[in-house]
Amino acid sequence: MNIPDAAVPEPILQRITQAMGASKVSHIELIQPLWGGYGQLFRAYLLGHSFPSVIVKYIRLPQSTAHPRGWNTPLSHQRKLRSYQVEVNWYQDYANKHLQAFSPLPHCLCVEQDCDETLLVLQDLKTMGFTQIRTTATPNTIRACLTWLGHFHAQYMFVTPTGLWPVGTYWHLDTRPDEYKALAEGPLKSAAKLIDNTLKQCPFQTLVHGDAKLANFCFSEDNRAAAVDFQYIGQGCGMKDVIMLLSSTLNFNEPDSVINDYLEHYFTALTKGLTEFTPHINPQEVEHVWRPLYCVAWADFHRFVKGWSVEHVKINSYTEKLTSKAIEQLSTTFLISY
């Protein structure tokens, strides 16, 4: 969707042109507005530059803080602002300083920050061969994303999240007190802190993408995946990314054998990545610790969703079953008072 240049302030277009050393931004193409009115994500086509196009995340403080589900709070606003700074830190301090051949993602080309706005210019994945966006997921699509996640988690195992979220994902308990308060009393609410602590304290912490849904991946014609949108990257157990991906791709009627196949594929990719990046870590030990946390990661996300929107489609018999399994699994080790 092309948008008139006037939809983006002319000084912004001039800053992009100057920062990139191009002769002109010929036109722009809206990808999407940023959540909550915090700016725009758009593709800018350049004249006089080796990159024919770049992706621009133009972040500005919103004039209105309307939220479709009513979650307009100062805490929510501060969380969003921090998430954009985390993303800038990620691209500058991590993505631009490490090889990403196994888990492709765009590199940062330019960052400009003012008191109330940020301009983040990134490589356009289309120019890197990742030309496809998929709104529905075939098994091959899911496996491509799991491959990316397995390699990514392996590469960043035990990396300190300096400048990132201390705990990755947008739904973790410490940043969601409003949704926790709205959650109905019961076993899940009583177990929420134990679930959170179990994930935070498990061995083999890595960096997690934090919002690894299907919409945050692009694909090549040969079915390789590349990821975008690193606002909620931070430390965590890799299962948190796995369940987020599956939450965005499953119809929740799949037989257990299908889910097990996806988990096997993920751990195979993780093993390959660990062998490449951190050969001193035993992949079997990581799997032994992480695999039982699959249901615990689901329960953690389920706690957020049920507090956020009790009618949400992601609340269903499959997620309820896994949540019950997680609570029962944890209660055999820790005393939970209901």
Task: State the residue for tokens 């700016």.
Answer: 39
Mean pLDDT of the 198-227 span: 97
What are the tokens at 2?
């092309």
pLDDT tens column, 123-162: 999 999 999 999 999 999 999 999 999 999 999 999 999 9
Percent of the chain past pLDDT 90, that is, above it, reads 75
Mean pLDDT of the 181-204 span: 96
Model-wide pTM > 0.75 = yes
Q: Same fold for the domain at 1-123 and the one at 130-338?
A: no
User: What's domain 1-123's architecture?
Assistant: 2-Layer Sandwich (3.30)
Give the least confident one: 2-16, 119-133, 225-239, 258-272.
Answer: 2-16
Q: What is the mean pLDDT of the chain?
A: 90
Handedness of CA 325, 238, 229, 52 (dihedral sign): negative
Per-residue model confidence (pLDDT) at position 96 = 84
Give the least confident one: 7-11, 39-43, 177-181.
Answer: 7-11
Q: Where are the domains of the chain?
A: 1-123, 130-338
CATH topology of domain 130-338: Aminoglycoside 3'-phosphotransferase; Chain: A, domain 2 (3.90.1200)
**Contact in structure between 194 and 154 (CB atoms under 8 Å):** no
Please name the residues in contact with 236: beta carbons below 8 A apart, sequence gap of 6 or more: 167, 168, 169, 172, 199, 200, 205, 206, 207, 208, 210
Distance in angstroms (rounded) separating the CA atoms of residues 286 and 132: 32
pLDDT tens column, 57-102: 998 876 545 544 444 567 778 888 889 999 999 999 999 887 777 8
CA atoms within 13 A on the CB side of 184: 7
The DSSP bridge pattern shows strands 108-113 and 117-123 to be antiparallel
pLDDT-based confidence at residue 338 (cuts at 50, 70, 90): very low
Per-residue model confidence (pLDDT) at position 336 = 42
Given a cut of 90, is residue 2 above it in pLDDT?
no
pLDDT tens column, 153-183: 999 999 999 999 999 999 999 999 999 999 9
Percent of the chain past pLDDT 70, that is, above it, reads 92
